[in-house]
Amino acid sequence: MKIIADLHTHTISCGHGYSSLEEMAEGARQNGIQILGTTDHGPNMPGAAGLKYFEELWRIPEYIAGVRILKGVECNICGLDGSLDVPDRVLQNLDLVLVGFHPRCGYLGKNVEENTRSLIGAISHPLVDLIVHPGNPMFPIDEKLVVAAALEYDVILEVNNSSFRGSRKGSWDNCTAIASECQHQGVLMAMDSDAHISFDVGRLDLSQKLIETVGMDAEQIINTSEEKVMEFVQRKRLYKAEYSYK
C-alpha cells in the first residue's frame, strides 16, 4: 500500500526528538512522503514545549523541501472527562489535533471503563482530529465503543508504527482488534510513524503488515492519497471555525 502522508511526527522541540523540522521535512522528501504532520507533544509531557510554541506555528511555511507541512499537536488526555492539556483557543488554529493517553502526563484513569469514557470524551470534542496509539496496553479500552464514537464524530484512529518497535509493548493484538472493528464499522484509519528522528519519517513497515493481515482496503486508510488527507483537513477546519469555546 503506497503511503504519501505521515500525520504524526516529532521534532527536537518536544524534548526527546532528535531532528529539526527542516531535517524532518528533508527526511520526508527522501522517503517519498508528500505531507508531513508536525505534531509535538503537549505541555504536560516532561520536557515538551510550552503553549507559546503551538501558538506560533503560523510562522512555519506551508512547504519545506517541497513537502506540505500540516501544523499540529499531540495533546495529552488529562481528565476522566477527556479534557486536554492544550486550550481550545490554541487548538482551533491548528491543522491537526492528535490526542492520546501518555503515562506521567496527568491522566489518572485506572480501568477499561474509565479509559473508554475519557477517550470518548476526547473524541467528542469538535477540535479533535485523530486518536494516537489507541491500542496501548497500558490504557485498555472497549474497542467497539471507541470505534463507534470515532465514526459518530469523524475522528481517525491510528495504527502507530513506533508502538510495534518498542514504544508500547504488547500493542499488536489490541491494534489488530481495533483495525478489524474499524473495518467492520467503516471508520477511517491512519498509519503513522510517530518518528522522533528524520530517518524514521514514513517508516510504516509494521503498520503496513498489520493492515495487510487484517485485510483492510487502501480506501479506508487516509494517508494513501493527498486528496483524502486534504479533504479531511478542510472538512475539520469547517468544524473548527464553527466551534465556539468557553
Nearest residue (CB) to Zn ion, 74 versus 200: 74
Nearest residue (CB) to Zn ion, 194 versus 200: 194
Under 8 Å between Cβ of 210 and 175:
yes
CB of 144 to Zn ion, least distance (A): 25
194 binds Zn ion (CB under 5 A): yes
Q: Which grid coordinates are listed for 132?
A: 494516537
Task: Please give the residues from 72 up to 111 whose contact with Zn ion meets the rule CB under 5 A.
Answer: 74
Nearest residue (CB) to Zn ion, 160 versus 225: 160
192 binds Zn ion (CB under 5 A): no
Report the alpha-carbon distance of residue 222 to residue 35 in Å, rounded. 12
CB of 8 to Zn ion, least distance (A): 6
Span near Zn ion by CB under 5 A; candidates 26-34, 58-66, 115-123, 191-199: 191-199
Largest separation between any pair of C-alpha atoms in the chain: 45
Nearest residue (CB) to Zn ion, 23 versus 194: 194
Q: Report in angstroms the alpha-carbon separations of 68 from 29, 61, 86.
A: 10, 9, 24
CB of 14 to Zn ion, least distance (A): 6
Report the alpha-carbon distance of residue 92 to residue 89 in Å, rounded. 6
CB of 48 to Zn ion, least distance (A): 9
Nearest residue (CB) to Zn ion, 193 versus 225: 193
CB of 9 to Zn ion, least distance (A): 8
CB of 244 to Zn ion, least distance (A): 29
Q: Which grid coordinates are listed for 33?
A: 512522503
Would strands 63-64 and 67-76 be described as parallel, antiparallel, or unpaired? antiparallel
Which helix H or strand E contains 122, and what residues bound it? helix 112-123
Report the alpha-carbon distance of residue 113 to residue 137 in Å, rounded. 14
DSSP SS3 for 211: helix
Nearest residue (CB) to Zn ion, 26 versus 40: 40
Give residue number: closest CB to Zn ion. 194
Bridge partners for 67 per DSSP: 64
The residue ranges that bind Zn ion (CB under 5 A) are 74, 194
